Amino acid sequence: MRSFGGIPALGFGTYGRWKADGEDAILTALEIGYRHIDTAQTYDTEGECGRAIAAFGLSRGDVFVTTKITPENFGAGKLIPSLHRSLDNLQMDYVDLCLIHWPSPHGETPLPVYLEQLAEAKTEGLAQRIGVSNFTIDLLKQAEAILGKGALATNQVELHPFLQNRKLAHYCKEAGITITAYRPIAEGRVASDRAIQRVAEKHDATAAQIALAYLMQLGYVVIPTSGKAERIAENFGALDIALDADDLAAMRSTDRNERYIAPDWGPHWD
């Protein structure tokens, strides 16, 4: 599979993939060919991921696993023990990527306190790569000042055809930070957009596939999720689609700065 900055281009998101049904969906994703699984401490799906990966029987080097540290575990001395608990849930010795899930709400924990523990997790071999999620340009600059340029593998942010986040994406490209796009199909809403429908018709594809193909063609990692086997397969099919210049221009025009995830304790978005 294609990869960006060492991260497989298409991953399987696991928010909502709980209990036996969730484990089945993750197993289905692995059977279809996904080799990148995205979880987080707060999703409560690390156990499902660990059991599905163990059941499928992949050797550790053949699957890329991301987890995210919740702000509750940012305090001095808390991050690494919390990552050990995550690794126990995942039945693994290390994650391929460990992210700060959100900047500390209202700056309650100073940035150096949690970023330095994150770097320590990498030094200890608990994470092969480290990164952040929901960071703005200003926060990325502060993080780079603390950890050094090149330390962050990715910034995982909301990004889809209706929120193309170009200013942030441009900054990340210049800084060598891979964008991981969450909510990449806007929870299926992309199907209602006429411009996306037209590109989909031209490629005999679905709107979700076109949205994912577009984002990957821009160099972004995408992590859609579904609880339905046919959609898990449909989304994986985006890897086979190549868009031409007209398609890219049409997709570019669908941006309308429509953000779905913006908690009041979150950062001031770019």
Catalytic member of 15, 34, 43, 260: 43
31 contacts: CB under 8 Å, gap ≥ 6: 56
Q: What is the closest distance, in whole angstroms, from the C-beta atom of residue 206 to ligand NAP in the complex?
A: 6
Respond yes or no: is residue 43 known to be catalytic: yes
Residue with tokens 């550790």: 60
* Bridge partners, 68 (sequence order): 99
Side-chain-facing half-sphere of 239: CA atoms under 13 Å? 18
Q: Which residue is nearest to ligand NAP (CB)?
A: 13
Binding site for ligand NAP (CB under 6 A): 13-15, 38, 101, 133-134, 156, 182-188, 191, 206, 208, 223-228, 231, 234-235, 261
Count the helix, strand and coil residues of the chain and give each as a percent rounded to the nearest 5: 50, 15, 35
Shortest CB 44 distance to ligand NAP, Å: 12
Q: Token pair for residue 22?
A: 């969730």
Query: Smaller CB distance to ligand NAP: residue 76 or 152?
Result: 152
Pair of tokens at residue 229: 């086997």
| Shortest distance, position 109 Cβ to ligand NAP, whole Å | 17
Q: Residue 124 or residue 156: which is nearer to ligand NAP going by CB?
A: 156
Least separation in angstroms between residue 245's CB and ligand NAP is 25
147 vs 185 by CB, closer to ligand NAP: 185
Closer Cβ to ligand NAP, 139 or 208, answer by number? 208
Cβ-contact 70, 41 below 8 angstroms? yes
Give the number of other CB atoms < 10 A from CB of residue 95: 25
- Annotated catalytic residues are 43
